[in-house]
Structure 1
Amino acid sequence: MMRKVPLIVILGSTGTGKTKLSLELAERFGGEIISADSMQVYTNLDIATAKATKEEQARARHHLLDVATPAEPFTVTHFRNAALPIIERLLTKSTPPIVVGGTNYYIESLLWDILVDTQEGDSKNSSLLTQQLADETLAAMTTAALHQHLASIDAGSANRIHPNNRRKILRAIEVYQGTGQTLTEKLAEQRQRPGGNRLGGPLRYPHTILLWLRCQQDVLNARLDGRVDGMLQQGLLKELRQFHDENKAVTVQAYTSGVLQTIGYKEFVPYLMKHNEQQDEQIEEYLRTHAYRLPSKEELKQEGLPVGIDLLRACCDELKLVTRRYSKKQIKWINNRFLGSKDRQVPDLYELDTSDVSAWPAAVYQRAEFIVESYRSGQLCEIEPMAKRVHPGADLNEETSNFCAICERHFVGEYQWGLHLKSNKHKRRREAKRRKEREQEQEAERQQSTADKVFVNETKPETLA
């Protein structure tokens, strides 16, 4: 019997065990791992980005780790262009590609034809463009000015992209300047292809298995907090200091577009900027003698603590908060883009519960193995995939903008606009505005009444004594 060779994709929030499962499946099925993590593509910061260790990488071949430096940009387009040839080569050899990572947009770029290149080899229309702007000019423009410029060349994209989203605005402008076509036109071409939908083009690989590692949120939060504490013991502070010192010359723009905005680095910038390696060593000594446990808020009031440990504690707390928030964002993305897309071709998505680490062999690995083996052998899988659901905004126009004058905020899409209008925050501000207007009207009426009385008194004829 001819065995199918599927593309195996492991999704999940930070801390759910994606690396562990990818290694187990790679060893079981002879696969190779493709990292889909937007921060692990960069050299260094191995601890901060929870990169697979050298020992783990030795268990199976890994791709797209340490392929860029902080000084160079690495976008989702770079990732797609690097990953697709690897997948094609592996499938040709009947070797299962195992895509694993928490950057869901990276994974989407592989599964569906959704990206638009900003350059074309032979742009016949580029010479006809009358509104070309130099890169230096674009960089110097405010985000509001960029959005106005985009509206003049591509009204559809200006309506679809939030006025504050500088990165997406610039990308839409770059598409027009590099290809001679608007982003709106190119997206329309994608959507009109067989299998296309409002999110872009069709599914690229029909033989795909999606494994979603889930974890109870309270368990995951505790796991994420413990993970941060464990990073300190692994040498996080030393790694961050070395990285910070080596990249002081990197441009300011990199702090918003590259590895310098990594969760796990940017949270520590306040400490790294204020203190030096001498303080690091004193704190490391303290941590070694206290089982790598940072002092509590009450303990921070004690005397004799290393200088800077209070700020380091605040940075760690911020990292824990941001990591928990990011994990929820990852879950929301998968629910909306993988399970809640009404007209999108989405492969079956299987849920694996990683809440109980002791139950991993039966609850996670064996189930994943059975799902993959059933698919490869063409047998009916007894494990049911997750049911698709209908997003409440599925039939609404998501490419229109609205501005709330009361809250002074822009909203893209009818769904978000509807949620805002129903929100308590908007209702409170609306009522506050109405109350203020009523008070102003009452004050105006009072002043007018007073003025009328004065006028009557001043014009009343004097009476004779």
Structure 2
Amino acid sequence: MMRKVPLIVILGSTGTGKTKLSLELAERFGGEIISADSMQVYTHLDIATAKATREEQARARHHLLDVTTPAEPFTVTHFRNAALPIIERLLAQAKPPIVVGGTNYYIESLLWDVLVDAQEKQSPGSPLAELKEGELGAMSTVELHKHLAKIDAGSANRIHPNNRRKILRAIEVYQGTGQTLTEKLAEQRGQPGGNRLGGPLRYPHTVLLWLRCNQEVLNARLDARVDGMLEQGLIKELRLFHNTHQGITVQAYTSGVLQTIGYKEFVPYLMKYNQQQDDKIEQYLRTHNYKLPRPEELKEEDSLPEGLHLLRSCCDELKLVTRRYSKKQLKWINNRFLASRDRQVPDLYELDTSDVSAWSQTVYQRAESIIESYQNGDICEIEPMAKREHPGANLDEETSNFCAICERHFVGEYQWSLHLKSNKHKRRKDGQRKREQLSQRQSQGETGEEEAKPRH
């Protein structure tokens, strides 16, 4: 019987060991690794983005690392168009592609037909004149959303009014194709196997491995990773990157590599100090085992280089943001893989990476067994994770609501229902009711006083 060659996808939060497992599986099954990380595509941010080291890259061939610079646009569409031919070539050679991510929408763009190209053959008869790139850039996000509502009411209702990137994307699709994004999504979802999230599954032979870790253990691991980055030369790398790209556009600072976790947190320090101060701090860290002192640990006689407190603050912010991002990745996997009732989702296998000393038994050997069973068409002793029902599964997720009390927009009935039940909304609602009652009583009191005055 012919062995099936699966597409292997390794999912998991930052710091769960995805790189380690990808290398082991590449060596074991003769595969090649495709990075699905939106920041590792850029050059010169190796430490900040936790790229596989040169030694690690020598163990297995890697793809889509260091393929562009911040001066060049690189979107999820660029990623998909670059990654799909690599996957097709590897499968044709009976080599398993090993996708490691990372970035949620990058992975989805490979697994499912969910992207709409903005540049296709122009359809005639667009009812509104095109806006040039400069005109779009000069418009506020509110103005862009109003413009989108004129050409594509469905997308305007589906996209949050503050999400400038998605609003621009919807406008670009209309101007580039003559069709609205809503129309194109309807075509995509109407394909056999399509669903409310987009088109069908692209590769039926797919193995999904989800690396999970106890949150407390993961938090400590992430904090230690940041401390280790300093010793690896993070300050020098960030300074070189900052000096090289100081003239980059404002747009890149608000959406792109300059918003990457690991760089933007250090911008306050990089903007205030220079290379000379970096050297003084580096010398201090070297003599103190790269440990940043906390205020409560300092003594009066301690002499610290200027900027060290700000650098520690930047590191603390990076630790906080990294922990938040890991939780966001966890939520995405739960919602998009385990709770998508009408989506074609391959079996998802959970691997616990909390105990590094037990890695071989609890992670590698289990992953090896899952893949071998799939290749040979055998029943795997390891059960995939059970699917679950999302509480908002039957609700309309493509409608917008505005809360006048809290002055906030919400996309989707599920988020709207959560907001209406939230304590914050209830407190504001009670506060508004009390103010209205007070105002009414004051108004009635003034009227009563006027009626009580004697007439002459």
Q: TM-score range by the shorter chain?
A: over 0.9
Whole-Å separation in 1 of the counterparts to 2:11 and 2:369: 17
Q: CA deviation at 1:104?
A: 1.5
Q: CA deviation at 1:300?
A: 5.4
| Stretch moving more, 441-450 or 360-369 | 441-450
Whether the 8 Å CA contact 1:215–1:353 is kept in 2: the answer is yes
Aligned residue for 2:9, secondary structure, equals strand
Q: Give 1:23-422 correspondences, 5 Å limit.
A: 23-120=23-120, 122-125=121-124, 128-299=126-297, 302=300, 303-422=302-421
The count of corresponding residues between Structure 1 and Structure 2 is 455
Whether the 8 Å CA contact 1:34–1:62 is kept in 2: the answer is yes
Whether the 8 Å CA contact 1:411–1:417 is kept in 2: the answer is yes
Distance 1:164 1:301, change over 3 A: farther
Whole-Å separation in 2 of the counterparts to 1:24 and 1:133: 50
Q: CA deviation at 1:451?
A: 2.5
- The one-letter code matched in structure 1 to 2:64 is L
**What's the CA shift string for 1:26-50, capped at 9, x where partnerless?**
0000000000000000001100000
Distance 1:38 1:211, change over 3 A: same
Whether the 8 Å CA contact 1:7–1:207 is kept in 2: the answer is yes
Aligned residue for 2:34, secondary structure, equals strand
Q: CA deviation at 1:102?
A: 1.2
Whether the 8 Å CA contact 1:300–1:310 is kept in 2: the answer is no
Q: CA deviation at 1:129?
A: 4.3
Q: CA deviation at 1:123?
A: 1.8
Q: Give 1:423-434 correspondences, 5 Å limit.
A: 423-434=422-433
Whole-Å separation in 1 of the counterparts to 2:117 and 2:126: 19
Whole-Å separation in 2 of the counterparts to 1:364 and 1:437: 60
Whether the 8 Å CA contact 2:128–2:151 is kept in 1: the answer is no
Whole-Å separation in 2 of the counterparts to 1:128 and 1:171: 17
Structure 1 stretches of 4+ moved >4 Å: 300-303
Aligned residue for 1:292, secondary structure, equals coil
Q: CA deviation at 1:447?
A: 1.8
**What's the CA shift string for 1:376-434, capped at 9, x where partnerless?**
11111110000001100000000000000000000000000000000000000000000
**What's the CA shift string for 1:71-127, capped at 9, x where partnerless?**
11111000000000000000000010000011011000000000000010x2233x5
Q: What is the percentage of aligned positions where both structures have the same residue?
A: 78
Whether the 8 Å CA contact 2:207–2:371 is kept in 1: the answer is yes
Whether the 8 Å CA contact 2:353–2:359 is kept in 1: the answer is yes
Whole-Å separation in 2 of the counterparts to 1:105 and 1:169: 17
Whole-Å separation in 1 of the counterparts to 2:85 and 2:405: 50
**What's the CA shift string for 1:121-168, capped at 9, x where partnerless?**
x2233x544331111111101100100000000000000000000000
Whole-Å separation in 1 of the counterparts to 2:127 and 2:90: 41
Distance 1:300 1:241, change over 3 A: farther
Aligned residue for 1:298, secondary structure, equals helix
| Stretch moving more, 294-303 or 386-395 | 294-303
Whole-Å separation in 2 of the counterparts to 1:320 and 1:128: 48
Equivalent position of 2:2 in the other structure = 2
Whole-Å separation in 1 of the counterparts to 2:128 and 2:289: 65
Whole-Å separation in 2 of the counterparts to 1:291 and 1:169: 48
Whether the 8 Å CA contact 1:111–1:204 is kept in 2: the answer is yes
Q: CA deviation at 1:301?
A: 7.1
Superposition RMSD on alpha carbons, in Å? Answer: 1.0
Whether the 8 Å CA contact 2:152–2:181 is kept in 1: the answer is yes
Whether the 8 Å CA contact 1:73–1:257 is kept in 2: the answer is no
Whether the 8 Å CA contact 1:129–1:180 is kept in 2: the answer is no
Equivalent position of 1:463 in the other structure = none
Whether the 8 Å CA contact 1:15–1:223 is kept in 2: the answer is yes
Aligned residue for 1:253, secondary structure, equals helix
Gaps of 5+ in 1: 461-465
Aligned residue for 2:295, secondary structure, equals coil
**What's the CA shift string for 1:336-365, capped at 9, x where partnerless?**
001110100000000000000000000000
Q: CA deviation at 1:186?
A: 0.2
Whole-Å separation in 2 of the counterparts to 1:449 and 1:286: 75
**What's the CA shift string for 1:223-263, capped at 9, x where partnerless?**
00010000000000110011000000101110122111110
Aligned residue for 1:130, secondary structure, equals coil
Whether the 8 Å CA contact 2:123–2:179 is kept in 1: the answer is no
- The one-letter code matched in structure 1 to 2:147 is H
Distance 1:165 1:22, change over 3 A: same
Aligned residue for 2:99, secondary structure, equals strand
Whole-Å separation in 1 of the counterparts to 2:114 and 2:425: 34
Whether the 8 Å CA contact 1:19–1:52 is kept in 2: the answer is yes
Whole-Å separation in 2 of the counterparts to 1:256 and 1:67: 21
Aligned residue for 1:337, secondary structure, equals helix
Whole-Å separation in 1 of the counterparts to 2:143 and 2:51: 39
Gaps of 5+ in 2: none
